Amino acid sequence: MSELSRKEHVFRDLIGGTILLVVAGVAGHFTIGWKWVTDLWNWITHPIETSRWWYAFLVGFFVVNVLVWLIRSVRQEQSPDFHQYTEDTFFGITWRWTWGKNNAIENLSPFCLRCDRSMRYGTNPDDFTNCSILIGCNECRVPHIRGGTYHDTLVDVRNEIWLKVRKNIWPRPTP
């Protein structure tokens, strides 16, 4: 996907279309096969009588559309305030994440409450049915046993995050 913003794409399309129209209009004067281009150009640029109300309407229409476009582009660039919410504690473990496009929770990772190191996960060696996982810190050796798979745990944490966002009860960062 392109790294250009929507504004840059629109600007490039407008410039490209204008250049194409000018080149086609000039080329139409010199080639017989392009007579329709010159006819179109002459029709577009032919002077006609119009009421000043039409000019006022067109200018007003243009100004209103530009203002709406500017307001929408400014609103889209502002991220929701809950994007500051990137850390919380669930199930006795600190979880950190980032917010991606379309408000997706990305890079969700567990961290130790005691030493703040990244935690590892694996199957619980005491559970022969493999229905629980063990999330633990290599430094503190504090195990956290949870039912289900690691994927189930990540889904549960995401659900808890979205619950706090929906209810607007997530912890605010201190200034």
**Residue extents of the structural domains in the chain:** 6-77, 82-167
Write the burial class of residue 135 (CB in 10 Å: 0-12 exposed, 13-18 middle, 19+ buried). buried
Chain centre to alpha carbon of residue 49: 47
- Collapsing DSSP states into helix, strand and coil, what is residue 26? helix
Residue pair 119/110 in contact (Cβ under 8 Å)? The answer is yes
pLDDT digit string (tens) for the chain, length 175 residues: 456 677 777 778 878 778 877 777 666 555 556 677 778 888 888 888 878 888 889 999 999 999 999 888 776 655 557 888 899 988 888 999 999 888 899 999 999 888 888 888 877 666 556 667 778 888 887 777 777 788 888 899 999 999 998 888 877 766 5
Q: Tally the C-alpha atoms within 13 A of residue 46's C-alpha that lie toward its C-beta.
A: 8
Please report the sign of the dihedral spanned by the C-alpha atoms of residue 70, residue 75, residue 76, residue 78.
Answer: positive
- Overall pTM surpassing 0.75 (yes/no): no
Indicate the DSSP class of residue 99.
Answer: E
Contact call for residues 29 and 38 (beta carbons, < 8 A): yes
Residue with tokens 């200018």: 59
**Phi, psi of 47, deg, nearest 5:** -70, 135
Q: Is 28 helix (H, G, I), strand (E, B) or coil?
A: helix
